[in-house]
């Protein structure tokens, strides 16, 4: 069968099979280690890849002017789409008004987040330690400023650029090797998860789950494709078919960061995005641009408010809107990160952090969905930005 020869189709099949096997055979949890090995391989390449791809992309731009254009366009795209996602979530949650009778199974122990700490976290205190501690955001920042500095250094910076370009290509070749195992890895990630959590954890929170799913579906199948079509002049369906492996993997890993090597690979190799654009927009997007997470945070905060019998007014809804955008920017691309940064949203409108206990049981499942939307949002963005820059003749 020709259809089954493609890794992306095998990956989809592996997800469906894993759901069936995980439901019927709890013993699959014994093989969880195979999924974990696959995840480790991906995580192993992420940090160096973030560094080399962002650095090479900026150092390859030629001028600081092009860097500014690319950076500005990316930020505009990230902000507009995240705001649209939150808006969709807020409209839906007000229409459907989901609420749950309050009964806490587990109260999460979460320390409250402080926007100042989030800001401080951006800046590396020690270049080497940021790598050793596996911290993506300071590494990203480092790559941005070093890439810019390399441009400034002109021909003196060229040997460093050549070296990091070569490391970047080598890491991408390694990624291509790891990607061949995606169907197997995905099977052993999703199967044990379904066996452990089971569909029963989804009961009782139907209205909330439905609101998040409808919002994510609206954003992923209408808003983003429309932008791609209007702004990027690309057929959304054809583009999705070319890059679908990345959202599938995002669903299985619930991590934008772990998916990043594959996101880069599909964008460059299968969708023809120029490496200097993909190398900048995608690593940045994987940490900054999280449409799915932002939408979920807004819906979840409102759901918690409704469950406590509160109804938030216009100013408070605006606060939820703004903090949900901010909290999604601050969320790392790892499983459950959105749940942690949601403390920001709850605090902004004075909702008790214990409210998170209400949604904990279904968080992993919704995390898988919102991460797919996060990655799809990054992929739509990179194509639009690539097209817009090419049309304007910037580079």
Task: Give the binding site for ligand ASP (CB under 6 A).
Answer: 254-256, 290, 293, 331, 333-338, 367, 370-371, 374
- Give me the least distance between CB of 253 and ligand ASP, in Å please: 8
- Mind spelling out the 3-state secondary structure of the chain? CCHHHCHHHHHHHHHHHHHHHHHHCHHHHHHHHHHHHHHHHHHHHHHHHHHHHHHHHHHCCCCHHHHHHHHHHHHHHHHHHHHHHHHHHHHHHHHHCCCCCCCCCCCCCCCCCCHHHHHHHCCCCCHHHHHHCCCHHHHHHHHHHHHHHHHHCHHHHHHHHHHHHHHHHHHHHHHHHHHCCHHHHHHHHHHHHHHHHCHHHHCCCHHHHHHHHHHHHHHHHHHHHHHHHHHHCCCHHHHHHHHCHHHHHHHHHCCHHHHHHHHHHHHHHHCCCCHHHHHHHHHHHHHHCCHHHHHHHHHHHHHHHHHCCCCCCHHHHHHHHHHHHHHHHHCCCCCCHHHHHHHHHHHHCCCCHHHHHHHHHHHHHHHHHHHHHHHHHHHHHHHHHHHHHHHHCCC
Closer residue to ligand ASP (CB): 147 or 292: 292
Residue nearest to ligand ASP (CB): 338
Closer residue to ligand ASP (CB): 192 or 338: 338
- Give me the least distance between CB of 340 and ligand ASP, in Å please: 8
């Amino acid at each position: 069968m020709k259809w089954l020869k493609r890794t992306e189709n095998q990956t989809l099949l592996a997800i469906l099979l894993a759901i069936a096997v995980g439901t019927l055979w709890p013993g699959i949890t014994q093989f969880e280690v195979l999924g974990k090995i696959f995840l480790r391989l991906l995580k192993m390449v992420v940090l160096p890849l973030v560094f080399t791809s962002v650095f090479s992309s900026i150092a390859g731009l030629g001028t600081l002017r092009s860097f500014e254009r690319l950076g500005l366009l990316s930020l505009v795209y990230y902000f507009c789409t995240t705001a649209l996602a939150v808006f969709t979530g807020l409209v839906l949650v007000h229409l459907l008004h989901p609420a749950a009778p309050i009964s806490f199974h587990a109260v999460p122990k979460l320390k409250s987040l402080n926007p100042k700490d989030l800001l401080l976290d951006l800046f590396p205190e020690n270049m080497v330690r940021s790598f050793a501690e596996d911290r993506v955001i300071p590494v990203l920042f480092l790559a941005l400023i070093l890439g810019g500095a390399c441009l400034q250094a002109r021909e003196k910076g060229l040997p460093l650029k050549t070296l990091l370009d070569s490391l970047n290509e080598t890491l991408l070749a390694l990624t291509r090797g790891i990607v061949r195992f995606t169907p197997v890895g995905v099977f052993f990630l999703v199967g044990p998860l379904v066996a452990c959590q089971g569909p029963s954890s989804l009961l009782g929170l139907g209205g909330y789950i439905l609101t998040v799913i409808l919002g994510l579906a609206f954003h992923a199948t209408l808003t983003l494709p429309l932008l791609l079509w209007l702004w990027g002049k690309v057929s959304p369906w054809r583009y999705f078919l070319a890059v679908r492996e990345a959202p599938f993997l995002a669903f299985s890993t619930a991590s934008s960061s772990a998916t990043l090597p594959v996101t880069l690979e599909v964008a460059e190799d299968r969708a023809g995005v120029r490496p200097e654009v993909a190398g900048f927009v995608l690593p940045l997007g994987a940490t900054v641009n999280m449409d799915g997470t932002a939408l979920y945070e807004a819906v979840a905060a409102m759901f918690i408010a409704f469950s406590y019998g509160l109804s938030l007014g216009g100013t408070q809804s605006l606060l939820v809107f703004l903090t949900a955008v901010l909290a999604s920017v601050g969320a790392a691309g790892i499983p459950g990160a959105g749940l942690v940064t949601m403390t920001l949203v709850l605090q902004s409108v004075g909702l008790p952090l214990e409210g998170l206990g209400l949604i904990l049981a279904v968080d992993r499942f919704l995390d898988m969905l919102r991460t797919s939307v996060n990655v799809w949002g990054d992929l739509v963005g990179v194509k639009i930005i690539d097209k817009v820059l090419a049309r304007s003749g910037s580079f």
